[in-house]
Structure 1
Amino acid sequence: MNYRPSILDDIAAALEPYGMVPRGGFVFDDKNQAPQITEGARPQSVILAGHFGSSIWPHFVQWREDHPSAQDPLDTWSREVLTAVAAKLGATAVFPSDKPYLPFQQWAMRAEGLCASPLGLLIHPEYGLWQAFRGALLFDRALDLPARGAQRSPCVDCQDRPCLSACPVNAFSVNGYDVARCRGHLASGEGDACLNGGCLARRGCPVGREHAYGEAQMRFHMDAFAKS
């Protein structure tokens, strides 16, 4: 028996207090495509959870004030929130930081029909690069979910690709992302514009600029990346 059609409404209501939303989902075509959660048990459906813009930021900041010594604070907060939500909904929560790593980007592309940008980040037609997936909820039954077709990537009509030219050290190319070059720039003392205001390449994308993270959130993410 499928879950009742309002399952997405239930998930949305459970996530809303944390600034998160359900980001689409699907039923696994083949049972073997699903991750094995416990020995001999695999889920049938997945719903991704994430956010658009800075919607999670005030909720995370409030939590962090009560947990100032938390390691990997954003991942820890996400795990705490989504584990509790999963328990309420009879699901299992999994996360991008789990090992062995799960194919979150592939799941996201299928769930919401998103495409990869030249930076490798998935791009949303409205929110651009200012959105993220914090985890996923796995259900042991086939959910009745609306079909989601592929969305047209805004990168298709972008000829100049300002996201690539905005990077001061050309860390992004057709060969991929040179993480070492990027981190070296941040550590060199010449990367303050990225450290303080957020990745210049990401900020160079014109799509969804009105949804860009605020200064404090930008700095948090860049600090975390530089120290990882």
Structure 2
Amino acid sequence: MEKTLAAHGLILRGGFVFSGNENAPPGPSGAPARSVLLVGQAGAAPWPHFQQWLGSQPDGLANPLDTWAREVIGAVAEKFGARAVSPSDKPWLPFQQWAMRAEGLKPSPLGILMHPQYGLWHAYRGALLFDHEVEIERPQGQIHLCDLCVGKPCLNSCPVGAYSQSGFAYDNCRSHVRGENGEACRGEGCVARNACSYGAEYRYPADEQTFHMASFAGL
């Protein structure tokens, strides 16, 4: 499975077995799934694969990254007898809770889960649900890098103060990115996210960050 995912720049991001009293989503048979494996990325590995795929699609395709991920992970699910689900599926599935459980991560002040190796430069693109138990070793005692960070540059760098200990001011952020003063965010990515030095070697390239900011702002 890892080799199949790697051909698209994707990796397994941990998993777990659902307990008997959990309200697990349906597996491939329609009965409650017994286990889940998360699929995602570390750094920009999927970006060239996605760009190549996008070049073969019609202009103006809505939600292209979600569409690509669904197509790729769906094919993997079919090959390995699983049911593929996406973070954008409705009703929403608890992907962040699954990720915290699978990899032992905690949220950063920006809300993005902080990874001890990848920093803020990683993502979850989907998950595979199985009717049977899939044993996978879960990491123990993960270091939460935000606990070691004294200056919290992520909270002090946003030009409109969209991030604080009380939460994320979504409307302020989106208005800024779309406005005349948001050129730096549109062209170089989120200033607050880039202010974090952890996992810098996995930072997304400028064109990928521009893509994500345009998608966030609806541009």
TM range (shorter): over 0.9
Given that 1:112 and 1:150 are in contact with CA atoms closer than 8 Å, whether structure 2 keeps it comes out as no
Q: Secondary structure, in 3 states, of the residue corresponding to 1:93?
A: strand
2:51 to 50, 61, 71: 61
Given that 1:23 and 1:50 are in contact with CA atoms closer than 8 Å, whether structure 2 keeps it comes out as yes
What is the distance in 1 between the residues matched to 2:117 and 2:28?
38
Give the TM-score of the pair, scaled to structure 1. Answer: 0.92
Note the 1:1-228 alignment, pairs <5 A. 11-36=1-26, 41-69=31-59, 70-227=61-218
Given that 2:14 and 2:138 are in contact with CA atoms closer than 8 Å, whether structure 1 keeps it comes out as no
Residue 35 of structure 1 and its aligned partner are, at CA, apart by 1.2
Q: 1:71 to 1:206 in 2, by over 3 A?
A: same
Unaligned runs of 5+ in 1: 1-10
What is the distance in 2 between the residues matched to 1:37 and 1:139?
5
Q: Secondary structure, in 3 states, of the residue corresponding to 1:101?
A: coil
Residue 33 of structure 1 and its aligned partner are, at CA, apart by 3.0
What is the distance in 2 between the residues matched to 1:82 and 1:99?
17
Q: What percentage of aligned pairs have identical amino acids?
A: 50
Residue 40 of structure 1 and its aligned partner are, at CA, apart by 5.8
Say what the alpha-carbon RMSD is for the aligned residues: 1.5
Given that 1:31 and 1:42 are in contact with CA atoms closer than 8 Å, whether structure 2 keeps it comes out as no
Q: Secondary structure, in 3 states, of the residue corresponding to 2:7?
A: helix
Unaligned runs of 5+ in 2: none
User: For residues 74-126 of structure 1, what are the alpha-carbon distances to aligned partners after superposition, in whole Å with 9 as ceiling and x for unaligned?
Assistant: 00000000000000000000000000100000000111111100111101111
Given that 2:157 and 2:192 are in contact with CA atoms closer than 8 Å, whether structure 1 keeps it comes out as yes
Residue 147 of structure 1 and its aligned partner are, at CA, apart by 3.4
